[in-house]
Amino acid sequence: MSPGLTPAQRHELVSSQQVSSNCVIKREEEKCMEMMASDDPGNDPEFGCPWMWDNLTCWQPARIGEVVEVKCPELFSQFMSEEDYELGTVSRNCTMFGWSETFPHYIDACLYEETGSNHTDTYYASVKALYTVGYSTSLVSLTMAMVILCRFRKLHCTRNFIHMNLFVSFILRAISVFIKDGVLYAKEDSEHCFIHTVECRAVMIFFHYCVLSNYFWLFIEGLYLFTLLVETFFPEKRYFYWYIIIGWGTPTVCVTIWAVLRLHFDDVGCWDMNDNAAIWWVIKGPVLASIMINFVLFVGIIIILVQKLQSPDIGGNESSIYLRLARSTLLLIPLFGIHYTVFAFSPENVSKKERLVFELGLGSFQGFVVAVLYCFLNGEVQSEIKRKWRSWTVNRYFAVDLKHRHPSLASSGVNGGTQLSILSKSSSQIRMSSLQAETPAT
């Protein structure tokens, strides 16, 4: 597993990497072959047993009579708890006839009856199905929300423009996950472990850019709301350009630096494995920083809301105040991505399966929740949709009415709106004529 993964990126990377266990074996075999090539004591008479790769573990050369003990292969870390994996070991004895069989056997030392390959494969298949449904649901709902916010001009304001950029970042993130899974894990085998194409690496660059952009727009949502609450005079339009630069420009810089460093210092495979922790911090650092700052902003906003709700200018008893505060807090959690802080700074190997499900369940459906709360259930959006619906219904009614009462207008090919305007003008002229007729001559 890649070291130092960020909370949200872990569920995309780890769940996909562990779809096929062959990748882990191929990677270990590659490392073993590199060590064999750099250190070959085959001609040294002191070593009775040479290097050996047994398709699971790399065994270093040993002298006759020596017992070599190694940890359980990394492959089994997927099936074991962290404590059991650290304690599990297997051994081989170097005899005059060569290496002995492993003792205890891999299955006895590294697996237990209640855990097994089939159970684990089913678990990760379920996890993949979960985030596929989550991202698909988010993609559809966010696309509908974007159409609504773009369609109605009365909804065009700085606040909704920021929401729209956040929606776009969620859409790109979902698309990048589907593209990555389609390119790297279309086949349930180990072929993708050694893909070195430019297209494959471009997919990984695009994937990291989309995830980073999503985190930064979550950060901008928090920053915008906090600034709106603390500043009396807030030049929204001027700040909005800086938000665009931060939201889309900063991820571009980070991903570009990461790609250059990978190309020069860790140009291995498709860049989907992050064994070099120092280079990975170029991606991980900004993500953790945005999560931490957003959490601080979240706490600050809650404090401001408490102060405002307790103000004597705001009516309501104490229970209604706390009810409004709870509602405001719940609405801010998905918008700020506060749920990412649960596992953001915990050790990598703590509750791996629980954290994977937690982050997938909330992470993949986060876009759907945000679209529902900040578009579909938004009072301003609902009012505008109702207004447009009433306008359309009225126009349709008059168009049908005109068709029956004025067939000549209907047959002329004029649309309902034009017919309505013609009728209005005719009615006005008739009223003016009648008024002139009723006015006595002077």
| Residue 442 is assigned to a structural domain of this protein | no
Note whether 103 and 201 are same-domain residues: no
Please say whether the beta carbons of 19 and 31 come within 8 A.
no
Handedness of CA 49, 52, 54, 60 (dihedral sign): positive
Task: Please give the tally of structural domains in the chain.
Answer: 2
Residues 297-333: tens digit of each pLDDT: 888 888 887 777 776 666 556 556 556 656 666 677 7
Domain residues for the domain of 292 are: 117-387
How far is C-alpha 21 from the geometric centre of its chain's CA atoms?
A: 24
Note whether 141 and 75 are same-domain residues: no
- Tell me the two tokens of residue 121: 């494969």
Residues 61-110: tens digit of each pLDDT: 888 888 898 888 877 765 555 555 555 788 999 988 888 888 888 777 77
Note whether 259 and 345 are same-domain residues: yes
Note whether 133 and 251 are same-domain residues: yes
Residues 145-196: tens digit of each pLDDT: 999 999 888 888 888 899 999 999 999 999 999 998 888 776 554 455 656 6
Query: Mean pLDDT of all residues in the chain?
Result: 75
pTM passes above 0.85 = no
pLDDT at 249: 95
| Residue 347 is assigned to a structural domain of this protein | yes
Please say whether the beta carbons of 171 and 149 come within 8 A.
no
Proportion of the chain above pLDDT 90, given as a percent: 19
pLDDT at 423 over 60: no
Note whether 272 and 355 are same-domain residues: yes
Domain end marker among 80, 110, 140: 110
Candidate from 7-21, 40-54, 58-72, 134-148 with smallest mean pLDDT: 7-21
Residues 395-415: tens digit of each pLDDT: 777 666 666 665 554 444 444
pLDDT at 47: 74
Note whether 128 and 176 are same-domain residues: yes
Half-sphere exposure for 364 (CA within 13 Å, toward CB): 24
Note whether 98 and 121 are same-domain residues: no
Residues 343-374: tens digit of each pLDDT: 666 655 556 667 777 777 777 888 998 999 88
Q: Given the structure tokens 């650092």, which residue do they identify? A: 285
Query: How large is the average pLDDT for residues 25-33?
Result: 81
CA distance 215 to 8: 9
Note whether 137 and 248 are same-domain residues: yes
Q: Where residue 77 sits, what CATH number does that domain have? A: 4.10.1240.10
Note whether 208 and 99 are same-domain residues: no
Note whether 168 and 216 are same-domain residues: yes
pLDDT at 424: 44
- First-to-last CA distance in the chain? 99
Domain end marker among 387, 410, 432: 387
- Tell me the two tokens of residue 261: 């460093």
Which H, E and C letters describe 286-314, residue by residue?
A: HHHHHHHHHHHHHHHHHHHHHHHHCCCCC
pLDDT at 205: 94
pLDDT at 253 over 90: yes
pLDDT at 145: 94
Pick from 330, 331, 308: nearest CA to 378: 331
pLDDT at 111: 66
Please say whether the beta carbons of 218 and 369 come within 8 A.
no
Note whether 213 and 244 are same-domain residues: yes
Note whether 51 and 143 are same-domain residues: no
Q: Given the structure tokens 């986060």, which residue do they identify? A: 366
| Residue 2 is assigned to a structural domain of this protein | no
| Residue 7 is assigned to a structural domain of this protein | no
Please say whether the beta carbons of 275 and 3 come within 8 A.
yes
pLDDT at 247: 94
pLDDT at 261: 94
| Residue 169 is assigned to a structural domain of this protein | yes
pLDDT at 114: 47
